[in-house]
Structure 1
């Protein structure tokens, strides 16, 4: 199956018409020359990558596009189940696990939980959009318990799969291994340590993970530019479908098996009307285009591969020592990526490996996580998290414009960053940060959560690098016997050890959930 997800929309229409391979076939029809074929839209959830992307056409927004994908993928899964061994399937009676965009699923049995994988580098807002899209797709309902949908990071899922394969790699208690999850859009890296306890083997995240948008779609983009340069004198006569057929040959045949040594050959489609053309200047002879190993390396592979190797180098430096590096994901199975990683790191790491069916490592690891969510014992936050508060004013440090004089004459400093979570410090997966506040009945309590990606603890919420993550509101419940204006004690509990941020409030001994509105500025 083609690794890229395609979605077809008619001109000026937000309603999805075709999905998957059928969408590609629709675009071949002459009547659809002005229609819209969307692909690689996952990148719109990466705030950094999306800055360089044009707005989605047809007035679409990314949550709608992803909901369209999930709705159709879910329907496809249900159809396959009904066609196969689950003929008596009823909605909600089975648990299945899948990655967001690689199209794989596994049926486990009569449960109702959905487990969906997301890149570890995604922001809290991007993960929130994914949850909203699942809800919009109708896979879960608005009144369902939050745990109906569980998110897991892609490299963490891959780590669970690779840990299961550790017996053949002879990894033991205390050993560390790196997951390099190289997919279509993103590359995520995290280092885990194996902990063998009386409860079995567990995994502990031991470095702050890194990620970047340097996946295999960036190889495709560079290849497209190379072909456009080669055929610049012929582009006016080449049908779009013929050019896409050449790109398909690259994606399906050349990209996975290219090793940096052998030249590669593209058979030009007959629709290009160039099947007998010879042009030595571009490597074309009798309708066959020769792509030398040297130009593929310099023009297509090396610029992207170098970004991946830089990420691996930084993680290796943070971990001090590693026993293994596992390359997983569709891009992770690239022969050239493996060769370059082996050249660069084999002298320092005992094992560099692509595990069996490495392209399925994330999906299979998600199944393992769904069966045993406690197998990962700790995670390392990538940000400082905190809220806006006032603290004692320090005349030596604090700006005078932040000074507040209280009714009792004391000086307070506004815009102070009150830390909830320290960046880079391990958190147990069930870690809960509690702080006590008070509100006046019956008014709700509102608070803004901030995050910072910097080495030193930020002092102010207005400091450079500090961004708003979310505003959350805690509705005040009906409290019999409490008068209007009366002070009510409450405890705000934030869970940062999970993949998604979770906020709760305890009022009069009862726990209440919150409504989080994620800020578009958050990165």
Structure 2
């Protein structure tokens, strides 16, 4: 996980050389990066509406306690099938319904607390004066498979959290980066820096981002090595099979062992706070990160039931609990097997599609640093006896800041950084663009009567090759409205296929994405009719094109 900020000191008086603090927001499904530690992505509202977040959230379940709410940004139909029926997702949706809260507002409240915490720590670390003089650049990660409307909802949450509020030092810049793209940027930069000869154009590598809740995998191919550039070569996939699911199995196993000793053992451990200590010390910072599938066992010391009694070995109420290698194998194997399937499917598709094995598997994320996971994936990818190409598994040992973000590495991919748009005429006019590059495309509309305003609706498809006709993959993106319209009588006429005389307007739309929002410029006969963000309506973003009838009559569209 990336550290929350880095600074770029000024080296001169130019605008581009002003001191800048870059803050990364890696908002996870189950955990969030704050300082150098992971913080639970959880929030709680008390009866007065006051907010607790992260580790301060009470363990007891409540309709006003929210966990796993990130996935609720998606409409239910867009949540992947393997995640939709997960107990954690259903519980989050239930909490939102019972509390009558919008998920955007819950995320906003969480991010507001996180932002206050982060900026306080930055001020302590480098001084308030430098912070006040520095511009902020915020880079927020989002899942690669998210549809356009989910990013727009995330933007709304960030704005409501006050992260983009005006500052004397200047405008705060926000950019979105897909989660595997962020991992790939940092990883390939380090790979190219330390082992430039190991990466060649045409090489493929799989990135496995294993976090607390979700595990995402995606494959890239290297298109250029100087500077390093890659593009997506196999579409990404993800599952709820992160490290949190190990925690659940561990607690189930521990409770089963305790029940054999005493029926009230679990309750006693909860009441005197020992259960939290065992989970944190013996599991989170002991067995879980260290397990390597060796013939090893662990003894979990059981404390006394009293809260203030000195915890010496002679005063333990219960016998120590033993976890041997087989116990821990049974905890790890089901979850790790799901990750193996994700990774091997990517490698298999790469082999079938490009006739070569991936050169690297890059493990990132907190769970991605686990040694047993490394061993199992290495065995799975290189177990074939007739395999001539070995896939090398690379695993980081700690968290690194996103220095690669500022070093010019560029990702160009089918799903990550391209926008597919169609005109409202439903013809397959497809335009592809990468971040920060503008594209211009021609459109036409026919009218049978004078009109006061004009609108162009943009739709997108969630598949690589858009269909000829609208189907369930085609969604609404936005409407661009412009009130400065040409005189109806000046438009050329033509007879359409059913013999009706209509007036036609031909115009161009320039679109540019900064990774966060879309800016549009409408041109008619080399004249700007509408520009920037004026008149862009995202109300229906993500809805099916034929979900409802557009009753906007004053545009006069045919």
TM-score by length of 2: 0.68
Alignment of 1:47-446 (within 5 A): 47-48=79-80, 49=83, 51-52=85-86, 53-54=90-91, 55-56=94-95, 58-90=99-131, 93-94=133-134, 111-141=135-165, 148-166=173-191, 167-169=193-195, 170-174=197-201, 175-196=203-224, 200-231=227-258, 233-234=263-264, 235=266, 238-239=269-270, 241-249=273-281, 250-261=283-294, 262-271=296-305, 286-298=318-330, 300-320=331-351, 321-346=357-382, 348-357=389-398, 359-360=399-400, 364-365=401-402, 367-372=403-408, 375-381=409-415, 385=420, 387=422, 418=428, 420=430, 428-429=434-435, 430=437, 432=439, 434-438=441-445, 441-445=451-455
Give ranges in structure 2 of 5+ residues lacking alignment: 1-35, 352-356, 384-388, 492-503, 545-558
Residue 34 of structure 1 deviates from its aligned partner by 6.7
Residue 332 of structure 1 deviates from its aligned partner by 0.4
1:469-492 per-position Cα deviation (integer Å, ceiling 9, x unaligned)? x3412121446x757997754434
- CA RMSD in angstroms comes to 4.0
Q: What's the secondary structure of 1:88's corresponding residue? A: helix
* Equivalent residue number for residue 106 of structure 1: none
Whether contact under 8 Å (1:492, 1:503) holds in the other structure is no
TM-aligned CA distance change 1:384 to 1:84, over 3 Å: closer
1:324-355 per-position Cα deviation (integer Å, ceiling 9, x unaligned)? 11111101001111011111113553421113
Count of matched residue pairs: 447
CA distance in 1, matches of 2:100, 2:48: 8
TM-score by length of 1: 0.72
**Does residue 516 of structure 1 match 2:538?**
yes
Whether contact under 8 Å (1:441, 1:488) holds in the other structure is no
CA distance in 2, matches of 1:477, 1:116: 35
Whether contact under 8 Å (2:427, 2:468) holds in the other structure is yes
Match of 1:491 among 496, 502, 508: 508
CA distance in 1, matches of 2:521, 2:419: 21
CA distance in 2, matches of 1:351, 1:459: 41
* Equivalent residue number for residue 23 of structure 2: none
CA distance in 2, matches of 1:417, 1:290: 66
Residue 182 of structure 1 deviates from its aligned partner by 1.0
Whether contact under 8 Å (2:509, 2:523) holds in the other structure is no
1:173-230 per-position Cα deviation (integer Å, ceiling 9, x unaligned)? 3133221111122222222333446x62323333222222322222223333434444
CA distance in 2, matches of 1:147, 1:338: 39
Give ranges in structure 1 of 5+ residues lacking alignment: 95-110, 278-283, 391-415
Whether contact under 8 Å (1:436, 1:491) holds in the other structure is yes
CA distance in 1, matches of 2:392, 2:423: 46
TM-aligned CA distance change 1:162 to 1:371, over 3 Å: closer
CA distance in 2, matches of 1:218, 1:66: 23
**Does residue 458 of structure 1 match 2:458?**
no
CA distance in 2, matches of 1:370, 1:14: 40
Residue 379 of structure 1 deviates from its aligned partner by 0.8
1:348-389 per-position Cα deviation (integer Å, ceiling 9, x unaligned)? 5342111342x43xxx33x422453xx225112289955585
CA distance in 1, matches of 2:481, 2:390: 53
Whether contact under 8 Å (1:442, 1:485) holds in the other structure is no
* Equivalent residue number for residue 480 of structure 2: 474
CA distance in 2, matches of 1:6, 1:512: 35
Q: What's the secondary structure of 1:259's corresponding residue? A: coil
Whether contact under 8 Å (1:245, 1:269) holds in the other structure is no
1:270-298 per-position Cα deviation (integer Å, ceiling 9, x unaligned)? 4599x999xxxxxx994422223223323
* Equivalent residue number for residue 447 of structure 1: 457
CA distance in 2, matches of 1:131, 1:310: 33
